[in-house]
Amino acid sequence: MKTHRLWDIFCTVIDNHGDLGVCWRLTRQLLAQGQSVRLWVDDASALVWMAPDAPALPNLQVLPWSDASQSEVLASLQAADVWIEAFGCNLPETFIAHGVATRQHQPAWINLEYLSAEDWVPRMHKMPSPVMSGPAKGWTKTFFYPGFTEDTGGLLRESDLLERQQRFDRAAWRQKHAPDLAPDGLLISLFCYEPAALPQLLTQLVGTPHHLLVTPGRPLAAVQQALASMPVHPHWSALPYTNQNGFDEMLWACDLNFVRGEDSLVRALWAGQPFIWHIYPQDDNAHHDKLEAFLEWMQAPQSLRRAHRVWNGIEVGEWPSLNAETLQIWIQNIQTKRHQLSGQTDLVTQLIKFMG
């Protein structure tokens, strides 16, 4: 039997589809393993569509970040066994000071970091980080790094994921969302920021039987802007906001997925369909090395590497043709890596095991 624990997960929203998306998947999977969770978030608005069932879930509280600085609120709450700082966010000092003052022993304090395939990740995984100042001076945090190899923290993966995929009616989903899709047409999903090669992709799709499904928010705005200067448009339609299971189903149903950030990258890997990753851009271009490390781990064929570099604006050139031969090479690559990943221990299992 797993030991029941109460987990405090802290999330600051930079991109609510990404940071909150990862934290919500982590929360869901901890709950499924019989754990209790308090999710502290500074902007929970996206949970309205991302997790409409959240208010009814047992063993879960979603709390405003500001409450963690309210002494009277903290005094009314049970002490958690685990503190998780997601993506390097810093816990409010009032919260830390309350924990120090009311505990005999520190909780397990985890800094859950960003996902990367870079070669330094295994070295940093589970590394202790002494707290050198502030109320918790003398306590210790632990770095926990998700990753793609056995010597990292692994990836978020539900225990019933394979079963859900096997039950999924792909044909019915495609008929509902793209009823006019030609038998020889590709169904393509678009979840992105503002990719450099988007106009090239849209131009290439003109006159083809392919259909582009565009997710709401920044992807839709980017497509609308690009189409404004195009005299002829490809087949496309806009999708509504959906919960995380609905997003997964879109990835399973499509022949090619464009994804962005961290959460949807992992979901695209589990979907097992060809995908292009729009990595979160950083001002110092550190994301270039991060993308190259991922492509190297993928052992991606040259056509897939080039597609990623052009899509992310790292390389100037023509967007590769989406022909059957290219897509077959891409799907063989992703299926190989998906099989490899499925044999590794998932992130939540590793976290629970780490607690002892």
- Confidence class of residue 284 from pLDDT cuts 50, 70 and 90? confident
In the prediction, which pLDDT does 1 show?
54
Asked whether the beta carbons of 173 and 47 are under 8 A apart, the reply is: no
Over residues 117-129, the mean pLDDT reads 97
> Residue 16: its pLDDT value, please?
60
Does residue 236 contact residue 254 with C-beta atoms inside 8 Å?
Answer: no
CATH 3.40.50.2000 maps onto the chain at: 161-342
What is the phi/psi pair of residue 276, to 5°?
A: -120, 130
| Contacts by residues 39-42 (CB-CB < 8 Å, ≥ 24 positions apart) | 39/9, 39/11, 39/63, 40/8, 40/9, 40/10, 40/11, 40/64, 40/65, 40/67, 40/68, 41/10, 41/11, 41/12, 41/13, 41/65, 42/11, 42/12, 42/13, 42/66
Helix, strand or coil, per DSSP, at residue 57: coil
Residue 136: pLDDT band with limits 50, 70, 90: very high
Q: Which two tokens stand for residue 1?
A: 């039997």
CA torsion sign, 344 to 192 to 306 to 249? positive
* CATH code of the region 161-342: 3.40.50.2000
Q: How high is the pLDDT of residue 356?
A: 82
Match domain 6-153 to its CATH number in 3.10.450, 3.30.160, 3.40.1350, 3.40.50: 3.40.50
Residue 262, Cα to own-chain centre: how many angstroms?
4
Average pLDDT over residues 101-112: 95
Give 280's pLDDT tier (boundaries 50, 70, 90). confident
- Name which of 15-19, 67-71, 91-95, 278-282 the model is least confident about: 15-19
- Measure the CA–CA gap between 280 and 313, rounded to whole angstroms: 12
Q: Identify the CA nearest to 58 among candidates 37, 80, 84.
A: 37
Please compute the mean of the pLDDT values over residues 24-33 and round it to a whole number.
97
Q: Which two tokens stand for residue 154?
A: 């692994």
Confidence of residue 286 (pLDDT cuts 50, 70, 90): confident
**Separation of CA 2 from chain center:** 26
Confidence of residue 161 (pLDDT cuts 50, 70, 90): very high
Q: Which of 200, 257, 211, 258 is nearest to 234 (CA)?
A: 211
Q: How confident is the model over 156-174, as a mean pLDDT?
A: 97
Q: Give all strands (DSSP E) within 125-210, no chain letters.
A: 128-130, 140-144, 187-190
Positions marked catalytic: 19, 262
Residue 135 — very low, low, confident or very high, per pLDDT cuts 50/70/90?
very high
Q: What does the mean pLDDT of the chain come to?
A: 95
- Whether 239 shows a pLDDT value over 80: the answer reads yes
**Percentage with pLDDT > 70 across the chain:** 99
| Cα separation of the two ends of the chain | 12
- Given a cut of 70, whether residue 306 has pLDDT beyond it is yes
Residue 282 has pLDDT above 90, yes or no: no
Helix (H, G, I), strand (E, B) or coil at 349: helix
**Is the pLDDT score of 13 beyond 60?**
yes
Helix crossing, 286-298 with 324-342: angle to 10°?
90
